[in-house]
Structure 1
Amino acid sequence: MTVNAGRKITALLGAALLLTACASKEERAGVAQASSGDGWSAGRPVVKVGLIGPMTGALAVVGIAQENSVKVEIDRLNAAGGVGGAKYELVVRDTALDPAKAVQAANEFAGDESVGLVIGPALSAFYNAAKGTLESSKKVNCQPLVATGDFGGLTYGFRAQDPVSLDVAKMVAHIKAEGVTSIGVVYEGDDAGKGTADEVKKQAEAAGLTWKGFEATRADDQSHRPYIDKLKDAGAIWISNSSGGAKTMAAASEAGYKGLIVGGSGARNISFVEAAGDAADGTLFSATYYPYPSRDSRDTWKPGFRQHIEETEKRFGKNAGPKTGAESPKAAEIAADCVLAYTRAAEKAKSLDPDAVAAALDTIEISDQETPSGNSISPEKHEFFGLDDIHIYQWKKDDKGWSTVEITH
């Protein structure tokens, strides 16, 4: 049994236990904290959560989904008493897919002592531009939409998403078991694309698969057919997590490609199905827990996930593709995980001091039965999730429409 697996089992067995510690008086970062009947954070009645994401523009659906999930979780936690007696308040800043705005928002939150937790900026490139500010200002931050890069060297940054390394590991093991012997990558030529291609190449070759190469796409490409033609002999082609992935799906269908189209968790977004249409049928993607849309009864869903999704649906509805009818919740559950994890860490530390909270975040254990995402949280090197939290899903179309099916061996 691995150390991480042992920790997760401990979390399952001990999820109902409360962590207790002696309250103390301290003054850190200019915030007085004292024990009182109102809770250990009585000197600070409000803790702000700063959310930085694309609320307008091409990826607004992503930013809005994060905002919805964070609102739902904050309201749930506030109803239960907040954090040490303080209540959460959400503050949202729109990047509009502009890196400069992401950095500006990070600078604003870094200088605001009332902000305890920053979620975002979404997307790897934007976070890379802002993380130095968040680190130097000692601002605890949680990243649900940053798949590349290493969080192990950070003090205050934590990842609440499946990193590309885990997605690749799960998928490579799956396709090898299916008899696939070679793989290539079609992805944007940016940092995310290069990082993904390097990871796929490294893990594929380590598993004995033949590397067929990396085809770097461009934003002005009308078709990805030339890239597919160059990789036509690959047993599998890994596609982009961004909108370009749909173009690769469509080009593979047009070319009559016989191999597997595979990708990471971005491919769960129904925008891929909307853009690619029937060409998305059969696409495999590795992702954290996501039984949606599913033919299975919701009684089979993990309770924390079900509660979060159903509350989000009740308040905000669903996304439905106008062309395909494919559905998704207007939620980003892993963003809600950030608030829950921060709360548990602060409660364990009995402090809102960023050093105390960051240290506690590396030691918390939360069962997959209670998290909004349905994944267990036991951070290791500032990563919330481990390999056993990653699943292989497949997009399927039948006479009832589109659904995701979990693929198991």
Structure 2
Amino acid sequence: MTVTTGRKLLALASATLLLTACASKEERAGVEQAASGSGWSAGMPVVKVGLIGPVTGAFAVAGISMENSVRVEIDRLNAEGGVGGAKLELVVRDTALDPAKGVQAANEFAGDDSVGLVIGPALSAFYNAAKPVLENAKKINCQPMVATGDFTSVKYGYRAQDPVSLDVQKIVEHLKAEGITSVGIVYEGDDAGKGTAAEIQKQAEAAGLTFAGFQETRNDDQSHRAYVENLKDAGAIWISNSAGGAKTMAAAGETGYKGLIVGGSGARNISFVEAAGDAADGAIFSATYYPYPGKEGRDTWKPGYRTHIEEIEKRFGKNTGPKTGAESPKAAEIAADCVLAYAKAAEQAQSIDPDKVAATLDSIEISDQETPSGNSISPDKHEFFGIDDIHVYQWKKDADGWHTVEIGK
């Protein structure tokens, strides 16, 4: 190398150092972010994930489970470098089952440019109230606890739960195969209840079953006995996904109801078994992948699900029913799927721009071996899961205690 060349290189290096020294903190952070991970920059040091759900009150177990799963997945992704060099940060807002608080939280997140993903508001009525806010603000949002309603009309919203249409399809197929000829429903008279009842009636009658009616419950009901007695001649009774479902299951035991108790994924909650006791034995529910209380060894579990659940157990423990000993993880794995899908879409788009992320989410493919829930993510009309991701499980009690078995494989 000549002296002249050496001097030019030295001058170039000196100029680079001078420019770097003069750059603002924000500019230097951008350079550092662009140099990390996959080589693209999110343009900010932190991308917030806003979670809206009931973390206090009667349905707190659901909100806390969502928070646990989202936190575990965020920590995992941050350990791998975050998203575009930015760290993910969880911000939780409690609805306490108050729809107004859900809308208030949605407005807060909608006005915060650092929020890249909103999870919730949990429950159909709450989401329906907040949906216009999230759409108008172009906030990518993911719904792991909204079973009813149509997501084809939204651009930025995605459902990460088994929709009631698929749950009903699986259960109606099972009822028909078992020779059961009628089905009724006991559910709250809200958006979720009305939507579920309409779906059951439509699919049951199309399959040649008699729809035995919709018994609308109230939140202040002390017992669901009268509702169950009104459907005593039905071959099956569909119960609510929320806390009211436990009351219906308990009432079925009290009245000696002889038909089948069926429901959606909410019925996997051990509070239902706690409320009903032995009456829960034989109850059937449709849900996404859920091997946890089963008797098969963990070596049969899908790897992403197993990793997620075992980290949940390590950090938060598990729920154990004081009366029945039934167990469940303190997790809502489908909420963690929301974070994984968002992060992968942003990485593929190399951007956190909501339009680019949404376009990528519309065609993303994530294997069921990788996801925290053990379900494949392949959005169709903004639905993460399809009919092949829905299973039918049955609660059983034997000498080893309570567990679930998959039926109709």
TM-score under structure 1 normalisation?
0.90
Query: Which ranges in structure 2 are unaligned for 5 or more consecutive residues?
Result: 1-28
Q: Does the Cα contact within 8 Å between 1:41 and 1:352 map onto a contact in 2?
A: no
**Residue 351 to residue 42, structure 1, CA distance change in 2 (3 Å):** closer
Pairwise CA distance, 1:42: 5.2
The residue aligned with 1:154 is 154
Deviation at 1:86, TM superposition (A): 1.4
Q: Distance in 2 between matches of 1:326 and 1:277?
A: 10
1:198 maps to which residue?
Answer: 198
Partner of 2:23: none
Determine the structure 1 residue equivalent to 2:359: 359
Residue identity (%) = 80
Match of 2:314 in 1: 314
What is the letter of the counterpart of residue 221 of structure 1?
D
CA distance in 2, matches of 1:42, 1:279: 53
Report deviation, 1:404: 1.0
- The alignment yields a C-alpha RMSD, in angstroms, of 1.4
**For residue 158 of structure 2, what is the amino acid of its counterpart?**
F
Q: Which residue does the alignment assign to 1:24? A: none
The one-letter code of the counterpart of 1:186 is: V
Residue 37 of structure 1 aligns with which residue? 35
State the alpha-carbon separation in 2 of the partners of residues 192 and 42 from structure 1: 37
Shift of 1:96: 1.2
**Post-superposition offset of 1:98:** 1.1
Work out which structure has the larger RCO, using CA pairs closer than 8 Å and 6 or more positions apart in sequence. Answer: 1
Q: Is the 8 A contact 1:33 1:40 kept in 2?
A: no
Pairing 1:325–2:325 present? yes
Give the match for residue 86 of structure 1.
Answer: 86
Matched, 1:279 2:279: yes
2:403 aligns with 403
Map Cα deviations across residues 307-337 of structure 1 (whole Å, 9 max, x no partner). Answer: 0000110011111111111111111100000
Number of the residue aligned with 1:239: 239
Task: Give the Cα separation in 2 of the matches to 1:194 and 1:283.
Answer: 22
TM superposition shift of 1:302:
0.5
Q: Aligned partner of 2:213: which letter?
A: G
Q: Supply the AA of the counterpart residue of 1:378.
A: S
Spell out the pairing of 1:229-268 with structure 2 (5 A cutoff): 229-268=229-268
More divergent stretch after superposition (220-229 vs 85-94): 220-229
Kindly state the Cα deviation for residue 181 of structure 1 after the two structures are TM-superposed: 1.2
User: Which amino acid counterpart does residue 294 of structure 1 have in structure 2?
Assistant: G
Distance in 2 of aligned mates of 1:381 and 1:70: 24
Q: Secondary structure at the match of 1:51?
A: strand
Conserved 8 A contact 1:246-1:280: no
Q: Give the distance between the partners of 2:45 and 2:221, measured in 1 at CA.
A: 52
- 1:271-290 Cα offsets, whole Å, 9 max, x none, are 11112222111110000000
8 Å contact from structure 2 (residues 251, 276) kept in 1: no
**1:38-63 CA deviation, whole Å, 9 max, x = no partner?**
33125222111011111111111111
**Counterpart of 2:9?**
none
Which whole-Å CA distance do the structure 2 matches of 1:65 and 1:282 have between them? Answer: 25
Amino acid at match of 1:326: A
Q: 2-side partners of 1:233 and 1:338: how far apart? A: 41
CA–CA distance in 2 between the matches of 1:92 and 1:228?
38
Q: For residues 274 and 37 of structure 1, what CA distance do their matches in structure 2 show? A: 53
Aligned partner of 1:126 in structure 2 is: 126
1:151-177 deviation digits (Å, cap 9, x = unpaired): 111000000000111100111111111
- Aligned partner of 1:184 in structure 2 is 184
CA deviations on 1:349-403 (whole Å, 9 max, x unpaired) are 1111000001110100001011000000000000000011000001111122111
Letter in 1 for 2:304: G
TM-score normalized by the length of structure 2: 0.90
8 Å CA contact retained: 2:34, 2:85? no
- Whether 1:343 aligns to 2:365 is no
Q: Quick one: which amino acid aligns to residue 36 of structure 1?
A: A
For 2:250 and 2:90, how far apart are their aligned partners in 1? 39
Partner Cα separation in structure 1 for residue 157 and residue 221 of structure 2: 35
1:296 corresponds in structure 2 to: 296
SS of 1:241 mapped into structure 2 = coil
Aligned length: 378
**1:309 alignment partner AA:** I
**Kept in 2: contact 1:305–1:372 (CA 8 A):** yes
Give, in whole Å, the separation in 2 of the partners of 1:343 and 1:219. 38
Contact 2:49-2:117 at 8 Å conserved across structures: yes
Aligned-residue offset at 1:36 = 3.2
Instruction: Give the residue type in structure 2 aligned to 1:63.
Output: G
Q: Using the alignment, how far apart are the partners of 1:146 and 1:163 within structure 2?
A: 8
1:129 Cα offset (Å): 1.0
**3-state SS, counterpart of residue 253 of structure 2:** helix
Distance in 1 (CA, whole Å) between partners of 2:273 and 2:258 is 19
